[in-house]
Chains A and B, each alone.
Chain A
Amino acid sequence: MGLETLIALVVLLPLAGAALNGFFGQLHGKRLSGYLACAVMAASFACAASAVAGLSGLSPASRSVTSVLYTWMDASSLRVEMAFTLDPLSGVMILVVTGVGFLIHVYSLGYMAHDDGRVRYFSYLNLFVFFMLVLVLGASMPVMFLGWEGVGLCSYLLIGFWFEDAAKATAGKKAFLTNRVGDMFFALGMFSLFWATYQAGSGTLAFAGLKANKHLIEQATVGAVPLATFAALCLFIGATGKSAQIPLYVWLPDAMAGPTPVSALIHAATMVTAGVYMVARMSWLYQMAPGVMELVAWIGALTALFAAAIGLAATDIKKVLAYSTISQLGYMFLGVGVGGYVAGIFHLVTHAFFKGLLFLGAGSVIHGCHGNQDIRKMGGLKDKMPWTFWTFLVATWAIAGLPPFAGFVSKDEILYEAYNSPHGSLALWLAGVVAAVMTAFYMFRLFTLTFLGAPRMGKKDFDHVHESPAVMTVPLAVLAGLSAVGGALNLPGGIAHALHLPRVLSDWLAPVFPVEATAHASNEWALMGASVLVALAGTLGALHVYYRQKTVPVADNARLTVPVRMARDKFYVDEAYDILIVKPVRGLGRFLAGPIDKRVIDRVLAELPPAVAYWLSARVTSLQNGNVQAYAVVLFGGTVAILAYLTLYLR
């Protein structure tokens, strides 16, 4: 098979699965629907793997293959092909999406085994993968946008999967709408880029075409602002929606209402990283807008800190992981913001492994504990759920940044870039380091409270706790393996140099990011040492508080200290948005619908014309005053006028 065909298959297989389950799922039954969904994912992964293998067989400079399916729209000045481009960057993404996606599909077989809505679930899940692949493979911005909004739709449908619970449906709606705010800016950014190229007579929105015309974009302005800055900023605001960064992160914690495998796939491993991917895809644009890059880095750093702070106080196992995801995404933006694109993508990949694993592990715990998600009521699950315990430990180890697991290597690379890159600074590095301490602390807090110590649930409940079936634990084991050794994808420069080993990911991505952000610097070992120290500090601190001292977070908010209470109440951001945005918009709607529409516009339209008519008729009635002589004059004058017109004008 040619590469083009393989690329098309990667995308279309999950769509076929979604369609088959969506339209005929009720016919072929619930059991089969799950197997079908897994089968198309396996096939899609196989195609993705062979496509990437095929790509690696090409010379580095020619590693970009586009598969054109058909012309999506052609509006004279803009032509958009339904086309997918496989290059090293999208290659990495499709492997993650289909690979981790496949594992999560398999896990779902067990997790959703008793749910009546299985057919619908697998249909949505396949559809999500399809849109995610469209997003990463899209050869132009509109096609990426198709995927971008499509994954948002699936996220909406899956968060509100148990739609009879109005709160869950509301969470889905919140996710969609918050994302739409971002999408609006994404669209504006896209329009501005088109406009810049269109003015110069070569209007395009294909990534290759835009990049080829970057000189045009560099020269253009929007008002007084350089167009590159405008576009980069708009696109980044779009990314803050999809990737849950300040100020649009508020939907992600609520998104935990969806089934846990969904949280793993969509809200940890794949969709939420789309913003990072997009910034990396548009790296040439961001390089033209250093101010925006700095903003990206700082938003990332601040989000990493802020979300970690909430994670320190959260008591719901999934909420801790949700804030952790926001925080880790912040790291990725810190990476790409300082120009460390490889570092950002690297962390994206390792995060997909260990955060996917953490969510699946959490799902296993929830499954085993019959729906309980409150870590204050867990504890002591170690022996009851050995597979879950050990794999969760690997993931916790990885995300905490303890060597030698994957999270350590990728996080270290981001911190290294934050310090050494020309766009980096000591302050950014420090923010990353502080967030790292917090990460290690809240993760080991979570781990300890869940698995170690004495059980804090009723004896009967505890007796019923059970390990999950193999269909769930095997994916855990595979992801644990990846979380452990994933760091080998891109060894730290010093180590690779010392051992004469390649840096696989950096080399692979080199054709996409020609600007290798930072050379190997002598402070690498010192920075690495600092990373290890802070990770250890956080880990030991958490173990001390929650394992040695057996502290359990209190249930009663009133007994908390003010900062902890604020963190547990998520710093009242949702409430603030409600007062500042949601309520005023509805209020404005009410004001326009009531006083303005009904009482002003409609009344003016309904009453003004009659009023004018009466006024006119009052004037005209004075003509009809009963004076026969006056009538005769008018009659005569009129006749003369008509005759004059007919004779003079028409003849």
Chain B
Amino acid sequence: MTFLSQNLLTVLVFLPAVGALALALMPSEEKPLLRWSAVAFSGLAFVLSLGLLNEFHGSFPSLQFVESRPWIAEWGITWFVGVDGLSILLVVLTAFLTPVVALSAFSAVEEGVKGYYVSLLMLETAMLGALVALDIFLFYVFWELMLIPMFFLIGVWGGPRRIYAAVKFMLFTLVGSLPMLVAVLYIYFAHKAQAGSYSAALPDLLTLKLSPTEQLWLFAAFALAFAVKVPLFPLHTWLPDAHVEAPTGGSVILAGVLLKMGTYGFVRFAVPLFPGAAREAAPVMLTLAVIGIVYGALVSLVQTDIKKLVAYSSVSHLGYVMLGIFTLEVAGLQGALYGMISHGLTTGALFLLIGVIYERRHTRQIDEFGGLARQMPVYAVLLMFATLGSVGLPGLSGFVGEFLVLLSAFSLSSKVYVVLASTGLVFGALYMLWLVHKVLWGPLGPKNQKLPDVSAREIAYLAPVIVMIVWMGVFPNTWMNTMRASAEHWARDLDHYRLTVTARPGPAPALLTAQSEHASHRPAR
């Protein structure tokens, strides 16, 4: 157990990859074995993530569960991982959603079962890796690694225009990421120039002194990569295509976790590394965020494909997250972090629920449905919870994030942002209730008369998500306790933001400075 507790993050990151390897060795025709193995491996990873959450000290703003080993020693590149309040819940969310997706795909994926689950598990490793990586090269590797399994998930198991959508997804994100690579190299060499040694460790890079012009260019390069992923208006047009063509599981992971990589990237890297530029660029980012909120909602309003509607709603919801981050205030950041998790759950649930009726009817056209509440009452209840969570009804998860973001946005000197962003409360309800109206209420059409209600397996993967939506709305403080200290630390003084490391495990962690911790790990040259 000592090994496990000292290498918890490494084990967590690679467990799904090990699972993928194991699945790859299994015979392709053993579908139940493949399916249950995928559930088992991702389920085990989830259990590990709960252990992580359990031992995590929310009251400390510092990095915890830190592991640092030389990787490419002479270049100062390390296997450097850790979590803090900014990332812990995203890690748990990722580990939570993957087994849910694995379970949901039992009936949806009949062809290429092995490839599907191998991709899914590889994707989980990549996502977890990107979330815990604190070495900027390591982060970049995981960041790009996420693309490949996702590309396959869309391109192989997707809908009729899957190739177009997969290539579009790939090109948008890849092109967006290339300037970031240049910027990563730039700060890496800048660190050598300033400190005399190579280091790609984020705590070291945070100490860099960069001129305002340098900051602005570097920020722009990072921001482009992250903004495409978020997606921030007007870089969002890959998202509806990707969602519509992706299989249910792909959509859940895409909306649930992948988009958050963009917003997480801003919180973890772009803003703290270049705080001056972030402040400078804030009006632009805020404006784009607010446009995204209103634009995404208005476009959702006229969609005829359920998935497209939810896809555009993500543009709107992620707009709130961006708004929260760029208030650069503690409540706004907490709202943003909370909104990320909540959006992962509510939109994840919505995509899962869309998958349920898609499997029964093989259509996602809103007009094809109606009156399902009579025929599928349990389904109706679940869809109502997901919808209400999504529209930010107080008492469910969506409210907390939106509330804190808007509350914080009121402190911006221009009130235009908060007023326009608030209209999202109305528009959000408008398109979601319209959707529910078209799908659940009204007379039951002839094509839907025989639809069976959700099965036990479907309840098994839907109910946990819904329970979390309720829990996060009724007892948000349970979760805010994990992020508050880190958020306060982040927002207090961005210009002098430093990442510190908490020695672990132990009941009363002692705070060490990043420098001293790293000095001991850095290979002697």
Contact = CB atoms under 8 A, between A and B. Distances in A.
Nearest to A183: B425
A73 B477 contact: yes
B331 A191 contact: no
B441 A76 contact: no
A439 B220 CA distance: 66
Nearest to B476: A73
A176 B429 contact: yes
Interface stretch (A269-277, A332-340, A556-564, A588-596): A588-596
Contact of B426 (A77, A149, A180): A180
Interface in A181-240: 181, 183-184, 187-188, 190-192, 194-195, 198, 222-223
Contacts of B197: none
B433 A177 contact: yes
A173 interface: yes
B514 interface: no
Contacts of B299: 589, 592-593, 597
B330 A76 contact: yes
Most buried by A among B168, B235, B407, B427: B407
A176 B433 contact: yes
Interface in A597-651: 597, 601-602, 605-606, 609
B396 to A, nearest CB: 10
Nearest to B381: A22
Nearest to A153: B393
A522 interface: no
Contact of B394 (A149, A165, A609): A149
Given A164-B374, A164-B444, A601 B301 contact: no
A166 B369 CA distance: 13
A77 B331 contact: yes
B410 A194 contact: yes
A169 interface: yes
B394 A145 contact: yes
A24 interface: no
A589 B168 CA distance: 24
Interface in B228-270: 234-235, 237
Given A160-B441, A222-B415, A187 B426 contact: no
A577 B407 CA distance: 30
B403 A589 contact: no
A88 interface: no
A74 interface: yes
Contacts of B484: 74-76
B407 A191 contact: yes
A320 to B, nearest CB: 27
B475 to A, nearest CB: 7
Contacts of B423: 184
Contacts of B50: none
B298 interface: yes
Given A150-B395, A593-B299, A191 B441 contact: no
Interface residues of B, number: 59
Interface in B473-488: 475-477, 480-481, 484, 487-488
- Which interface residue of B303, B477, B487 has the most chain A CB atoms within 10 A? B477
Contact of B234 (A173, A589, A601): A601
A258 to B, nearest CB: 13
Interface in B291-314: 295, 298-303, 312
Interface residues of A, number: 53
A572 interface: no
Contact of A76 (B334, B434, B437, B475): B334
Interface in B388-406: 388, 393-395, 400, 403-404, 406
B17 interface: no
Identify whether the interface residues of B are mostly helix, strand, loop, or mixed: helix
A195 B237 contact: no
A586 B295 CA distance: 12
Contacts of A198: 411
A35 interface: no
B442 A166 contact: yes
B467 to A, nearest CB: 12
A183 B399 CA distance: 13
B477 A170 contact: no
A174 to B, nearest CB: 10
A170 B443 CA distance: 12
B394 A146 contact: yes
B418 interface: yes
Contacts of A609: 175
A184 B425 contact: yes
A188 B418 contact: yes
Contacts of B301: 585-586, 589
A280 to B, nearest CB: 22
B172 interface: yes
A113 to B, nearest CB: 21
B331 A78 contact: yes
Contacts of A150: 393-395
B86 to A, nearest CB: 14
Contacts of A173: 433-434, 437
A142 B484 CA distance: 19
B185 interface: no
Contacts of B153: none
A484 to B, nearest CB: 39
B338 to A, nearest CB: 9
B17 to A, nearest CB: 33
Given A76-B334, A593-B303, A597-B299, A191 B433 contact: no
Nearest to A168: B441
Interface in A67-111: 70-78
A170 B437 CA distance: 8
A615 B298 CA distance: 36
B298 A592 contact: yes
A525 interface: no
Contacts of A597: 237, 299
A493 B199 CA distance: 83
Nearest to B308: A593
A201 B443 CA distance: 55
Contacts of A73: 400, 404, 476-477, 480
A75 B334 CA distance: 7
Nearest to A230: B415
Given A75-B330, A194-B410, A609-B175, A180 B302 contact: no
Given A75-B335, A176-B433, A187-B406, A70 B418 contact: no
Interface in A285-320: none
Contacts of B235: 605
Contacts of A602: 237
A498 B9 CA distance: 82
A77 B330 contact: yes
Nearest to A598: B237
A197 B335 CA distance: 20
A585 B298 contact: yes
Which of A72, A181, A586 gathers most chain B CB within 10 Å? A72
A136 to B, nearest CB: 15
A166 B442 CA distance: 4
Interface of B: 168, 172, 175, 234-235, 237, 295, 298-303, 312, 329-331, 334-335, 371, 373-374, 388, 393-395, 400, 403-404, 406-407, 410-411, 415, 418-419, 422-423, 425-427, 429-430, 433-434, 437, 440-444, 475-477, 480-481, 484, 487-488
For the complex of A and B, the 8 pairs showing the least CB-CB separation, nearest first, are A169-B441, A166-B442, A589-B301, A191-B410, A602-B237, A146-B394, A163-B441, A589-B298
8 contacts: A163-B374, A163-B440, A164-B374, A164-B442, A191-B406, A198-B411, A597-B299, A606-B168
Given A72-B475, A165-B442, 13 more contacts: A72-B476, A73-B477, A75-B331, A75-B335, A163-B374, A164-B374, A166-B437, A166-B441, A177-B429, A177-B433, A589-B300, A605-B172, A605-B234
Interface of A: 70-78, 142, 145-146, 149-150, 153, 156, 160, 163-166, 169-170, 173, 176-177, 180-181, 183-184, 187-188, 190-192, 194-195, 198, 222-223, 585-586, 588-590, 592-593, 597, 601-602, 605-606, 609
